[in-house]
Chain A
Amino acid sequence: MSAADLRKTIRAVLCKGLTVEQADQLGAALVPVTVGAGQAVLREGDNPSGLFLLLKGSVEILKQGDGGSQSLGKVEAPTVLGEMSLVTERPQSATVVSVTDCDFYLLTRLQFQRLLATESIAAYKLLGTIAEVLAGRVARLDQKVVELSARKDGPPPVEELAAFRQKLFSEWSF
């Protein structure tokens, strides 16, 4: 991939607010990685390696559940994987397996910390983008929690609907 293409992908996929110079700075910190089809790129529970920028190919994301591993879906290039590993040392939260031959660029945690230590604006902007992605995820999770807890506590929906109907034609009839 040419430097110009990489720069374009970085600014479009990785972090939208970067200037050309900042994108190049991040680009210089990336290491190309190629993986054949059917291989594990990341393993759930492993120590985190860093952020993967998927440029070509598609991967499947798997998570270990009660009844074995469960697919969380497939994603196609271009996309970003493992972004949480840049902000936390917690083990990998999911397994990523390549479906086709894949080209990645890897930003290791160490490289990213070096950039932060030099007070690189590009790195801080990337941090901001990751925070935004995570905030979105938390909001969706909150919604899910509310839905699930409503399901557990309330009476069955059929009865609720009957109660609603009753109220509509008596108390709230106008």
Chain B
Amino acid sequence: MSGFEEVNYYFRQAARVMDLSAHVERMLITPFREVKVDVSITLDNGELGTFIGYRVQHDKSRGPMKGGLRYHPTVDMDEALGLASLMTWKTAVMNLPYGGAKGGIAVDPSTLSARELERLTRRFVEQIHDIIGPHTDIPAPDVNTNAQVMAWIMDEYSKIHGFSPAVVTGKPVDLFGSKGREAATGRGVVFALEEYLKDAGDGEIRGKTFAVQGFGNVGSWAARFLHERGGRVVAVSDALGGVWSPEGLDVPKLVEHVRTSKSVVGFPGSDAITNEQLLVMDADVLVPAALGGVITEANAKDVRARVVLEAANAPTTPRADEMLAARGVTVLPDIYVNAGGVTVSYFEWAQNIQQFTWEEDKIEAELGRHMREAYATLARLVRERQVSFRTAAFIVAIGRVGRATVLRGV
């Protein structure tokens, strides 16, 4: 299944429960605007480099559209469309005043110099500046884009439209960025789990075991917060391989190790495992925090964890999702679990608009409140309607987007 089809598969599961008609379904799925632009720059060697940039704006009924920009060779319209619609549902689940968008440039940024990357970013902004804006569409970092790229976007956009820090989020803290943005997704993931454990009467994080796939921005922060709360992180992995220790890994030391050796592999006092082994590791909670599509029909029957915490986007394929549900494994879905990132992006945007800064403890408290409120709504639906958390999340999202759409008038 392509990205868009996969998102729509889950959407349709919820639409069936809600008994939506085909017309209404189509109205909600169809994107507002799809933009494809030429991004040509002069390369350092004097040659012309031509790349294709995309921005898909899926729905704006609930507010300005929001979503990341990724620089990756596989970026195309279908991928952007799937992820843009996912952002619509994600912001609605969290009740943030946003719609969904996504985009990027089909390019391998590792082949570009820093100066080329800057030119590419600025040219992209020139091409899409009239469809983005603090009250229209607010990009954010995604795969291979970071705070520096966001700073360039803000600067270039401000040259055309005047000072506009709120046009993009995920900026450097020294340039209108928000405190706590970097740790936001990982922190939200842990809040989500705490809410679930409390609700399910399944104890607390302390003493439970965790396997975390991915040790980038999301995985490493999630592991740190789990460790801080007394959880035993028994296995982690990254693109190069994994490490395992049944007594629990010393996460702060592991972070140090990764800083110097650029990978979790070879961490002293641990055994080497593969990414495949990590997914079927003996642990209470499995946290896929890297790529999409890792829990599949092939390995879903071997997953030993009782809870799958989807910190990555779309880590579970629809078929695997069914298999896990049949085996009684609880899947806490991506559109709720990893929404901490976009929630703190919202706080950054709000601070930019207010021209005021919040301290990190306020960010943490507000994020906790948003995650708790969203969980309470989901949990009620799960109980009342006997649906999975994922279907509940889509029902909440469809309800909110639908109400905004019909109130505005179709």
Q: Which residues of A contact B (CB under 8 A)?
A: 146, 150, 154-155, 157, 160-161, 163-165, 167-169, 172-174
B326 at the interface (CB under 8 A from A): no
When C-beta atoms are compared, the residue in chain A nearest to B399 turns out to be A172
Q: Would A164 and B22 count as touching, CB distance under 8 A? A: no
Q: Chain B residues near A157: list those with CB within 8 A.
A: 21, 23
Contact of B406 (CB < 8 Å), options: A150, A154, A155, A165: A165
Chain B, interface SS category: helix
Q: Which residues of B contact A167 (CB under 8 A)?
A: 18-19
Q: How far is the CA of A161 from the CA of B409 in the complex (A)?
A: 10
Q: Does the CB pair A150–B22 fall under 8 Å?
A: yes
Additional pairs, 9, CB under 8 Å, beyond known A164-B402, A168-B406, A174-B377: A154-B22, A155-B21, A164-B24, A165-B406, A169-B403, A172-B398, A172-B402, A173-B403, A174-B380
Q: Closest 4 interchain pairs by CB?
A: A160-B21, A150-B22, A172-B399, A165-B406
Distance of A169 Cα from B404 Cα, bound (Å): 11
Q: In the complex, A172→B381 CA distance in Å? A: 10
Tell whether B396 is near chain A: CB-to-CB under 8 Å: yes
CB distance from B376 to the nearest CB of A (A): 10
Mark out the residues of chain B between 347 and 387 whose CB falls within 8 Å of any chain A CB in the assembled complex. Answer: 377, 380-381
CA–CA, A150 and B380, complex, Å: 33
A168 adjacent to B23 (CB under 8 Å): no
Least Cβ distance of B263 to chain A in Å? 37
Interface centre among B24, B377, B398, B410 (most CB of A within 10 A): B24
Which of B21, B396, B398 lies in contact with A154, CB distance below 8 A? B21
Q: B240 on the interface (CB 8 Å rule)?
A: no
Does A174 contact B381, Cβ atoms closer than 8 Å?
yes
* B395 within 8 Å of A (CB atoms): yes
Chain B: interface residue total (CB-CB under 8 A):
18
| Interfacial residues, chain B to chain A (CB-CB below 8 A) | 18-24, 377, 380-381, 395-396, 398-399, 402-403, 406, 410
**Min CB–CB distance B410 → chain A (angstroms):** 6
How many pairs, one residue from A and one from B, have CB atoms within 8 Å of each other in the complex?
Answer: 42
Whether the pair B396, A164 counts as a contact (CB closer than 8 A) is no
Complex CA–CA separation, A155 to B24 (angstroms): 12
* Residues of A with C-beta under 8 A to B381: 174
Can you list 10 A-B pairs, Cβ within 8 angstroms, ordered by A?
Answer: A155-B21, A160-B21, A164-B20, A164-B402, A165-B406, A167-B18, A168-B403, A174-B377, A174-B380, A174-B396
For the complex formed, measure the closest distance between the CB of B16 and the CB atoms of chain A, giving whole angstroms. 13
B402 neighbours in A (Cβ, 8 Å): 164, 168, 172
- The complex places the Cα of A169 from the Cα of B403 at a distance, in Å, of 7
CB-nearest residue of chain A relative to B403?
Answer: A168
Q: Contact: B406 with A164, CB < 8 Å?
A: yes
Chain A contact surface mostly: helix
Asked if A161 and B24 make an inter-chain contact with CB atoms under 8 angstroms apart, the answer reads yes
CA distance A165 to B24 in the complex (A): 10
CB-CB under 8 A from B24, the residues of chain A are 160-161, 164
Contact call B399/A164, Cβ cutoff below 8 A: no
A160: chain B residues within 8 A (beta carbon): 21, 23-24
For the complex formed, measure the closest distance between the CB of A173 and the CB atoms of chain B, giving whole angstroms.
Answer: 7
Cα A34 to Cα B22 with chains together (Å): 49
Give the complex CA separation of A164 and B402 in angstroms: 8
Given contacts A164-B402, A165-B406, contact A172 B21 (CB under 8 A): no
Q: B18, B22, B381, B395 — which one has the most chain A CB atoms within 10 A of its CB?
A: B22
Chain B proximity of A162: nearest CB distance (Å): 9
> Whole-angstrom distance between the alpha carbons of A45 and B399 in the complex?
52
> Out of B396, B399, B406, which one reaches A161, CB within 8 Å?
B406
Contacts of B396 in A (CB 8 A): 174
Give the residue name and chain of the B residue nearest to A162 (CB): B406
Q: A161-B410, A174-B377 are in contact. Are A168 and B399 (CB under 8 A)?
A: yes
A165 to B410, CA, bound (A): 11
Residues of A within 8 A of B21 (CB): 154-155, 157, 160, 163-164
* Bound: A129/B377 CA distance, A: 50
Across the interface, B399 reaches (CB within 8 A) one of A154, A163, A174, namely: A174
Set of chain B residues within 8 Å of A150, measured between Cβ atoms = 22-23
Taking CB atoms, residues of chain B closer than 8 Å to A169 are 403
Give the docked Cα–Cα distance between A21 and B399 (Å): 59
Chain A residue at minimal CB-CB distance from B384: A174
Residues of chain B within 8 A (CB-CB) of A161 are 23-24, 406, 410
Report the minimum CB–CB distance from B401 to chain A (whole Å): 10
Q: Give, as a whole number of angstroms, the nearest-CB distance from A153 to chain B.
A: 9
Q: In the complex, A56→B397 CA distance in Å? A: 52
- With contacts A161-B24, A164-B21, A167-B19 taken as known, whether A173 is within 8 angstroms of B399 at the C-beta atoms is yes
Task: Give the Cβ gap from A143 to chain B, nearest Cβ, in Å.
Answer: 11
